[in-house]
Every structure is written in structure tokens, then in C-alpha cells.
């Protein structure tokens, strides 16, 4: 007799989003900035304490993390476009990103009570 998976486990897995430490750092930086754009230069601070990545690869890794967060609709990227590539200079948190960051922090949403 086959057993069906528990319903609660499916719900938890559905809302779970895997993020790297750098991606979490980017989301938290944008979250604390409160609805304003943040320059990507601020994200290099992530490597001040953790210098496992080589200097010349750090910007490439940051770019990949930002692009992944944009694809997941957690960030909006601002920058300039050339015929072949986008150069992301600033980022801003979306509503979905704000909700995901609150989940990271373990905060509950406040309901407007009258």
C-alpha cells in the first residue's frame, strides 16, 4: 500500500526558497534601506569578513547573485544596456522580496486593525 506524503510538508516546501548567504545579505541590505535604490558597491562589504573568493571574482559572483534575485522577482535592477549586455548599477526590493526578507528575519506582518 502506497502512502501519500503529508500535506503540511508540501505546503512548507512550496513556500521555501533557497538563497545563498550572499543573496540573503543583499536582501537584508535592501530591506533596511526602506524603499530606495542601493548601489551595488555596498555588496562588496560582504567579502570584508569572508575573503575566500578571489578579488577579481567577487564582482562576478555579486553580479550572478543579483541576476538570480531579479529572475526570482525579489529585486528590480537599474542600470544601462549595451547591445549585448545589461550593466546593473542599482537595485531595489520588490514587494515579493520584502515579504521574503521578512520571512528571513522571522518577523510577522502587522495587520491594520481599526
Domains of the chain and any CATH numbers: 23-105 (1.10.10.10)
Tell me the longest C-alpha to C-alpha distance in the chain: 59
Separation CA 8–CA 60 (nearest Å): 38
Q: Which residue has the cell 570584508?
A: 48
Spatial CA neighbour of 31 closest among 113, 108, 94, 111: 94
pLDDT reported for residue 3: 47
Number of C-alpha atoms within 13 angstroms, CB side, residue 108? 3
Spatial CA neighbour of 30 closest among 104, 110, 106, 109: 104
Phi then psi dihedrals of residue 73, to 5 deg: 65, 30
Per residue in 60-104, pLDDT tens? 999 999 999 999 999 999 999 888 888 999 999 999 999 999 888
Residue 91 pairs with which residues in a beta bridge?
38, 77
Phi then psi dihedrals of residue 23, to 5 deg: -65, -40
Q: Which helix (H) or strand (E) holds 46?
A: helix 46-49
Per residue in 40-69, pLDDT tens? 889 988 888 766 778 888 999 999 999 999
Amino acid at each position: 500500500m502506497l502512502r501519500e506524503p503529508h500535506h503540511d510538508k508540501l505546503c512548507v516546501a512550496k513556500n521555501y526558497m533557497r538563497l545563498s548567504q550572499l543573496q540573503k545579505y543583499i536582501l537584508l541590505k535592501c530591506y533596511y534601506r526602506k524603499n530606495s535604490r542601493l548601489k551595488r558597491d555596498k555588496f562588496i562589504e560582504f567579502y570584508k569578513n569572508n575573503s575566500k573568493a578571489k578579488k577579481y571574482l567577487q564582482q562576478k559572483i555579486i553580479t550572478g547573485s543579483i541576476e538570480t534575485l531579479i529572475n526570482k522577482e525579489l529585486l528590480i535592477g537599474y542600470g544601462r544596456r549595451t547591445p549585448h549586455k545589461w550593466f546593473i548599477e542599482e537595485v531595489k526590493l520588490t514587494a515579493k522580496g520584502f515579504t521574503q526578507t521578512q520571512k528571513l528575519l522571522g518577523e510577522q506582518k502587522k495587520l491594520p486593525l481599526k
